[in-house]
Amino acid sequence: MSWNRMLGHDRLIKGFQAVWTNQRLGQAYLFIGPRGVGKFTFARELARAILCEKSGPGLEACEQCRSCILAGAGTHPDLLMAAKPEDKNELVIAVIRDLCEQLVRKPALGTRKVAIVDDAGEMNEEAANCFLKTLEEPAPGSILILIGGPSADRQLRTIQSRCQIIHFAGLSESNVRQVISSRKEPEYSVDELSIALAAGSPGLAIEFAEPHFRELRQQLVADLLKPRSDAFAWAEQWLKSLENFSKDTAGQRVTSRMLIRVLIELARLAWHWHLGDRAGNAEISGPVSQFAQRFSYAQLDQLLFRLQKTDEQIDRMLQMNYAIESMAMDIVPVG
């Protein structure tokens, strides 16, 4: 992949090209922004361009040299990766310690090493403190890229202060469609409502359109919009659906936050509907208008606040049952 296929982040590309040309590339970066907008993909392409044997002032991978081929295959000895283990809810010290030990070794092919830390916001306290030592005394020629969440709040302030924070924004809907169409998967189609709900995130649009999740979201929204709803029954159905959808707690938290994101975007679009900004596509306007007719403008303000608060509670690992039931008591309308 070269920069011309990295859609929607031209400003960031030009920024990195400028600091590269002026020989002012930093030693540590923290990428933050919405999930699924390409932070990790951008980091991989940046690393590949930095390690390229022929990268000139344009900071662009030639895609032909040994370094580019190895980096593209994920086997470059100077491109290091760390992420949360699949069976863990957090990024543990063993993973970070191994990364730090590899960083202090001399580069194998050139003069630089690049380390990409995915799920950086999930580092536990031990892992964060271990990584902090590397940030304080980075090995010569090493460049660290941390992939965070929507904000830098999950990082220790001492880590934030030692990184240049790079803000990623959502893509335009046309760019989202381009990114999705350029992928060989998923095999299922991504509907317009999923794209609208994803708010500029191709990754989320694909996840929202996954058949099982689409069915889950449609059922919960339909139950919420019934003429007379039972808040406790709605919360119970939500939690039961999570158990059927994912057997582990970490997966249930991720799914629950995705569902909340669906409701947040529906509420936001309905809020604009009240202001006269009506979606033209029937696939979008139908659910949005139902939402808007069910909740007043003032209620949508309160709904958005409550949904965002619940999302934060789940993100902070508070008891999910309590968070969902408490949210339901506030937002489920009673006819």
Q: What span, in angstroms and rounded, lies between the C-alpha atoms of 58 and 45?
A: 13
pTM of the prediction? 0.82
Mean pLDDT by 10 residues, the chain (335 residues): 79 94 93 92 94 84 92 94 85 93 92 94 89 90 92 85 94 90 73 86 90 86 75 85 80 86 87 76 73 85 88 80 86 63
Q: Any idea what the Cα angle at residue 155 is, between residues 153 and 156, rounded to 5°?
A: 110
Residue where one domain finishes, among candidates 116, 138, 167: 167
Which residue segment(s) compose the domain that 218 sits in? 210-331
Q: What span, in angstroms and rounded, lies between the C-alpha atoms of 244 and 247?
A: 7
Q: How does DSSP assign 271-333, residue by residue?
A: HHHHTT----SHHHHHHHHHHHHHS-HHHHHHHHHHHHHHHHHHHTT--HHHHHHHHHHHH--
Using an 8 Å Cβ cutoff, are 148 and 31 in contact? yes
**Based on the structure, what is the number of domains in the chain?**
2
- Answer yes or no: is 182 within a domain: no
The two tokens of residue 167 are: 């803000």
- Answer yes or no: is 192 within a domain: no
Are 94 and 160 in the same domain?
yes
Are 98 and 33 in the same domain?
yes
Residue where one domain finishes, among candidates 134, 167, 200: 167
The set of residues, in sequence order, having a beta carbon less than 8 Å from that of 152 and lying 6+ positions away, is 30, 32, 160, 165
Whole-number Cα distances in Å, 29 to 79, 132, 164, 228: 15, 13, 5, 50
Q: Any idea what the Cα angle at residue 36 is, between residues 11 and 57, rounded to 5°?
A: 30
pLDDT for the residue 184: 62
pLDDT for the residue 251: 80
Residue where one domain finishes, among candidates 143, 167, 191: 167
Are 160 and 276 in the same domain?
no
Q: What span, in angstroms and rounded, lies between the C-alpha atoms of 77 and 70?
A: 8
Are 139 and 19 in the same domain?
yes
- Answer yes or no: is 81 within a domain: yes
Are 26 and 120 in the same domain?
yes
Positive or negative, the CA dihedral 195, 219, 187, 189 is: negative
Q: Any idea what the Cα angle at residue 203 is, between residues 268 and 265, rounded to 5°?
A: 5
pLDDT for the residue 186: 57
Are 14 and 130 in the same domain?
yes
pLDDT for the residue 105: 92
DSSP 8-state symbol, 120: G
- Answer yes or no: is 176 within a domain: no
SS3 state at 165: strand
